[in-house]
Amino acid sequence: MEEVFFKNQTKVVSEYFENWMNTVDESNGLDKFSQLYRLFSDFEQNKNNDVKIYHNCIGCNIHEGATSIKLFLKNHEGYPSVRHYLMLYSLTFYILAERIVTINDEMSGKKNDWSDFPNLRRIKRWANFFKHPKSYMFLHHATYHLSTDPDQPNFLIDGIIDDNFVQEYYGGNSENEKLHSLIANKRRHKVFFPDLIEFTKSMCGEFDSFFNSIHSNPEFVGQLSKYTLVSELQNMYLGGRMEPDFVATITYLSTLKGGRTTPAHSKYRPQFCIPDEQYSTSGEQIFIGTDVVYPGETVQAEITLLCPELFHGKLEVGTNFEFKEGSRIVATGTIDRFINTLLVKTAPNMG
């Protein structure tokens, strides 16, 4: 039963994080990462008094970190090794947490300040536990469990390594001698990791707080623009590219079938997915012949992908795809013709 509890949690957090990452603001059709790109673009437009679209490395690095988490969670749903999963979970979330804190330091003027992000600090110390084990290297075969599992073992336990333990002994080196006396050359210890669902939600909440602090303080964008490469956008979907990637016919699901409750407007940017393909990206839709499409309607549109390189050589005329908001499918489509020929599937080399 303990294994069932763990595997179920891995599936729940995968779906939750994908929904969190791909949530679209219906007022502007942008997900949270696209809104971050747009903030920097608007700042540069105002500064230079032009209408060019700008791209920045801060947005890319944060988006890359979140995408790494999403792919890890998706590829490890139901993973059989608790220890291995928790190690990779901690390290993957920590990478994005470190990027967030580095950027926040630039805004606050502080250095390595995690005080605004207590849950990101927690994952940092769990990452330290796995990558800088210290005296744990001399502990004999500890077993790993989730702290909220109702079937967790409660016998043959000589010592417990839990969240409180990790926060105390893996935040620095001042407690190394005491740590050594507690676990070196000991047996029958159990590692109890925090509940995956609650831990994931708490970290996503702090990611959102970071995004909101930038959105609510425009001066932060100007401040950060001093430290990041901000260049005219040529290869992103926000308007800088000269041509879209392909033309497609799109059918929006009706509200009764789980689709949107409101109409979609041209330049709407939900998540573009190919069934059974692990990668996805945002895709801008420019409707042909109309500016608004209602649930249940079909329209032809020009599609421009945020990361077209994910699909180089993988698509063809007639390829079916989906547009999603989180895990919810809001539209399906079929490719009619290509403009970006790098996406076209190449015939296998038979020679």
Task: Quote the pLDDT of residue 347.
Answer: 62
For residues 251 and 338, membership in a common domain is answered with yes
Q: How many structural domains compose the chain?
A: 2
Tally of CA atoms within 13 A in the half-sphere of 202 that contains its CB: 14
Cα 325 to Cα 307: distance, rounded to the nearest angstrom: 17
CATH code at position 312: 2.40.30.10
Start-to-end CA distance of the chain, whole Å, equals 52
- Residue 304 sits at φ, ψ, to 5 deg, of -120, 120
| Averaged pLDDT in 10-residue chunks for the chain of 351 residues | 88 92 72 70 55 59 87 91 96 96 86 93 96 89 92 81 95 90 89 97 95 80 64 45 86 93 87 83 90 95 87 93 86 96 77 52
Q: Which domain holds residue 263?
A: 246-343
Cα 229 to Cα 200: distance, rounded to the nearest angstrom: 31
Is 348 part of a structural domain of the chain?
no
For residues 203 and 259, membership in a common domain is answered with no
SS3 321: strand
Burial 206-237 (b: 16+ CB within 10 A, else e): bbeebbeebeeeeebbeebbeebebeebeebb
Q: Quote the DSSP letter at residue 341.
A: G
- Is the pTM of the predicted complex or chain greater than 0.75? no
For residues 147 and 11, membership in a common domain is answered with yes
DSSP string covering 14-77: HHHHHHHHH-EETTTTEEHHHHHHHHHHHHHHHHHTS---EEEHHHHHHHHHHHHHHHHHHHTT
Task: Quote the pLDDT of residue 1.
Answer: 64
C-alpha angle 172-174-177 in degrees, rounded to nearest 5: 115
